[in-house]
Structure 1
Amino acid sequence: MNIENFKNIYFVGIGGIGMSAIARYFKAIGKNVFGYDRTQTLLTGELEKEGIDIIFSDDLDQIPEIYLNKEETLVVYTPAIPSSHKQLSFFKIEEFALMKRAQVLGLLSDPLNGIGIAGTHGKTTVSSLTAHIFKNSTHECNAFLGGIARNYNTNLLLSKKSKWVVIEADEFDRSFLQLHPQVAVVTSMDADHLDIYGKKEELEKTFQNYVGQIKKDGHLVYKKGLPLNPKEINLHSYSLEEEADFYAKNLKLEKGLYQFDLVHPKGCIKGLKLSYPGRINVENAVAASAVALICGISENELRLALNNFLGVRRRFDYRIKSDNLVFIDDYAHHPKELWESISSVRAIYPDKKITGIFQPHLFTRTRDFADDFAKSLDLLDELILLDIYPARELPIKGVDSNLILSKMKKKGLLCTKNELIKRIEQSEIEVLLTLGAGDIDKLVEPIEQVLNQRIKC
């Protein structure tokens, strides 16, 4: 199927971060683009400003007539949409051309030199930083990202002259098995999405299958220690400070930002400065730098890009940074991510009280990792815990936010979203973190307004 032959592209779940990048692509090449999503968000508002119409009801009557032409319309959907959804069911019954988001991404990226960034955590930052490095080099690049890169205020980068495309390779629903990259990165393979995989061994097997799809004589950049051993490709290990093919040494924290030397197989690049805070982001930078050097990007291009990278929305995202009050928003929703995020903040602000607001994401993830969530959240000085964001799931008996609290050594406070702003108004805040992958992002601006008002007063 040549998807570019379709005149009309209809998205079921257009507000998803991966879906929106593809919607922007089709809009950019002149297709008619329309979409449905369940709720209005900052991202759907941005898409509408860019000329993409969106509806927030699944009523069939709201589908514009041109998108009911089967011969000219491609329907793209996300696996997060339930099969009982009215519009999706209609398109299936009427035998429209239907494709999952991952299938479309595979078709768009296969003709190019793909750089597929995978991992249970870290992939959005690594893919965004990799794309930024390429964009600031003579190579340039295209990119479909899983976050909004602050340097460009978008999750889509396009270049007519570049044959490189950076793709965030998502393990959810085994989506990344639609990709055949020239270069792949695997940042982590921690147990996650056990509602899909059942057990960690099955997840690891699927990652093995993914790296087995790297094009012949391609490259795999992987976190040292991960059990990956594909054939007929070039292997490159990386780590933060442990000796590997690529690693950092002489790591220094100055004014909240890190400097380091990058050791690589052909030598050492000294005095690199990363403008993006967080110790975990140095490791992410090592991975992105490894890809860049393997693909022929120069040391000077790499140095400049690391120094002017502004980060990713909702990834260690400073909202307020003053002497007396700091507010950071982070997407962390897995125990390992929480540990890394909170530890990074603790390293920057060792003498400050750190308050975290955490919204657990999914009943199954909360059930499977309650003990690990408790250990990570115990790193905070103060915890405000919201109700579980269900996403695509129905409630599970006995699984709620109290399950995490019951396993913590420190006390936490349960709070509803409606009560949160009042609670913050009454709290003594020094460093505040908002953490989670649900709809906690809708609370970020109201929190920021309250804290800015406090600074003014």
Structure 2
Amino acid sequence: MLNNINFFYFLGIGGIGMSSLARYFHYMGKIVYGHDQNYTSLTNNLENEGIIINYDDNIKSIPFWVCSDKCMTIYTPAIPNNHKQWIFLKKNVKNIKKRSQVLSLITKNKTCIAIGGTHGKTTTCSFLTHILYSNGIKITSFLGGISKNYESNFISNGKDIFLVEADEFDRSFLHLSPNIACITSLDQDHVDIYPKKDILINAYINFSKRIKNPYKKIFLCKEDSFLYKKYFISKNVIYYSIIYKEDYYSDNIVIKDNKWYFDFHTPKEVWKSIVLPIPGYHNLKNITAALSIADYLNINKEKIKKYLYLFKGIERRYSIHYNNNGKIYIDDYAHHPTEINILIKTVKQCFPKKKILGIFQPHLFSRTKFFENSFAKSLENFDFLILLEIYPSREDNKKLEYNINSNILLNKINLNLDNKIVSTLDKVMLTIKEKKFDFDIIMTIGAGNIENIINPIKKWLNKEYGHNN
């Protein structure tokens, strides 16, 4: 089907998943256009690569060939129903599909590895991509973040293996039929899709049933296995862990001079004193998953260890942008209470006794409302807090059932009134300067457009505390 398509139009091309797919078709020599509501560094990079993007929700901006049999329109489920281009395309376009459906078409008759889970998908997938690519395995990889090694979320040197993230949002991962699947974690997140945890677990069970030969294996994090163990056929399951000693596991963690070292156990041997490229027990779990799959695929141990050391990480995952004169600036994509708790714990392990100023942008009204108390508990682990307005994304706060805003959340956070404040994104720098918080570390966290303040914060730190080394 895809072989007969010459033109692709992406509605929501600036999304991290959509943009990797757009890059794939552009790489394949197809004509790729797109629309997005926001101009970002990612859309700028897409345009620099030769992809044409419009930013006006105007029917006149849509290219004339979208109604052709030779065109496919690809959309993200996050597009609001009142979007003008979306209304026109639904009515007039012959060939229109969700991103997940297209990813399924691409990988259907190929060897596919799919990494699923509430947390850890992108780190696990990025590291496994790095290992396979560096070892000359012919792979095509679609990432949910920008790899620092390759400066892209799409990496390809061939098509022997397709490596994808299995996104549970909108049940997208149920379109995939991987040969090897991995479930990194099970935690409620997209509460508009999975209001109860049982619904989420059932979706993952259905995902696990879609694995196919050859391989037909699913890698499960042993820590979460009690949730779904009875539903799996044991011969198809391979466990990995950082706690339990079963199949693949990592232990003997040592933190020395702000570097993390660990031992990795395979069913046959132990790899001693490996350097963890990104700190944190959550990242150790993700790296353990990737190492397990790589070893299962018989990738050379010495090469894996070599390229592990050269792994630079992913943008907006524990990204240190400034470290000078006792001041540190870290940015992270964390947007869930579990992720925030783990992130703050990791920072405190790496930089003990440092005062932290957190700048958090809640993402989605439904998520903020559902986890209202959990967010409050996690955010009070900061010494100081600037709480941004909730980033709505696809949601409309005019709906009364949400009944949440940043001021309501702020009042639940157990911090001194002088140490917490609500701000808009465009006034963050003014708030930092006026409040004069006695911080050692600044952390920006969230999944919305909070990345827009990364450069202003860096410039301010360079001016106030000297240029970063």
Residue matched to 2:152: 154
Matched, 1:163 2:160: yes
2:444 to 434, 445, 457: 434
Contact 1:371 1:407 in 2 (8 A): yes
Amino acid at match of 1:52: I
* 1:47-62 equivalent positions in 2, closer than 5 A: 47-62=46-61
TM-score by length of 1: 0.96
Contact 1:258 1:279 in 2 (8 A): no
Amino acid at match of 1:200: K
Matched, 1:452 2:462: yes
Q: Deviations over 1:149-206 (max 9, x none)?
A: 000000011122x411110110000000111111111111111211112211101100
Secondary structure (helix, strand or coil) at the match of 1:356 reads strand
Amino acid at match of 1:238: Y
Residue matched to 1:205: 202
Contact 2:357 2:437 in 1 (8 A): no
Contact 1:110 1:180 in 2 (8 A): yes
1:303 to 305, 314, 332: 305
Residue matched to 2:101: 103
Secondary structure (helix, strand or coil) at the match of 1:311 reads coil
Residue matched to 1:7: 6
CA distance in 1, matches of 2:110, 2:449: 35
CA distance in 1, matches of 2:384, 2:66: 53
CA distance in 1, matches of 2:251, 2:465: 38
The CA deviation at 1:300 is 0.8
The CA deviation at 1:140 is 4.0
Contact 1:274 1:309 in 2 (8 A): no
Percent sequence identity over aligned pairs? 39
Amino acid at match of 1:58: D
Contact 2:188 2:194 in 1 (8 A): no
Matched, 1:22 2:21: yes
Secondary structure (helix, strand or coil) at the match of 1:304 reads helix
Secondary structure (helix, strand or coil) at the match of 1:447 reads helix
Residue matched to 1:112: 110
Unaligned runs of 5+ in 2: none
Comparing 237-246 and 183-192, the one that deviates more: 237-246
Q: Deviations over 1:290-320 (max 9, x none)?
A: 1111111121121012111100011111111
Contact 2:77 2:170 in 1 (8 A): yes
The CA deviation at 1:440 is 0.5
Amino acid at match of 2:98: K
CA distance in 2, matches of 1:68, 1:264: 51
Contact 2:113 2:161 in 1 (8 A): yes
The CA deviation at 1:69 is 4.2
* 1:414-429 equivalent positions in 2, closer than 5 A: 414-425=422-433, 426-429=436-439
2:332 to 330, 344, 360: 330
Distance 1:306-1:392 versus aligned 2 partners, 3 A rule:
same
Contact 2:318 2:331 in 1 (8 A): yes
Secondary structure (helix, strand or coil) at the match of 2:193 reads helix
Residue matched to 1:187: 184
Q: Deviations over 1:411-447 (max 9, x none)?
A: 3221222221022233333111101001111111111
Comparing 82-91 and 48-57, the one that deviates more: 82-91
CA distance in 1, matches of 2:327, 2:81: 46
The CA deviation at 1:257 is 2.3
CA distance in 2, matches of 1:356, 1:163: 43
The CA deviation at 1:452 is 1.5
* 1:117-136 equivalent positions in 2, closer than 5 A: 117-136=115-134
CA distance in 2, matches of 1:84, 1:371: 32
* 1:29-428 equivalent positions in 2, closer than 5 A: 29-65=28-64, 67-160=65-158, 162-216=159-213, 217-224=215-222, 225-226=224-225, 227-228=227-228, 229-231=231-233, 234-395=236-397, 396-397=399-400, 398-411=403-416, 412-425=420-433, 426-428=436-438
CA distance in 1, matches of 2:154, 2:188: 29
CA distance in 2, matches of 1:288, 1:323: 36
Comparing 340-349 and 271-280, the one that deviates more: 271-280
Comparing 98-107 and 399-408, the one that deviates more: 399-408
The CA deviation at 1:274 is 2.0
RMSD value, Cα: 1.5
Amino acid at match of 1:387: E
TM-score by length of 2: 0.94
Unaligned runs of 5+ in 1: none
CA distance in 2, matches of 1:200, 1:63: 40
Contact 1:238 1:244 in 2 (8 A): yes
The CA deviation at 1:234 is 2.2
Contact 1:7 1:72 in 2 (8 A): yes
Amino acid at match of 1:407: K
Contact 2:180 2:216 in 1 (8 A): yes
Secondary structure (helix, strand or coil) at the match of 1:84 reads coil
The CA deviation at 1:210 is 0.5
CA distance in 2, matches of 1:293, 1:384: 44
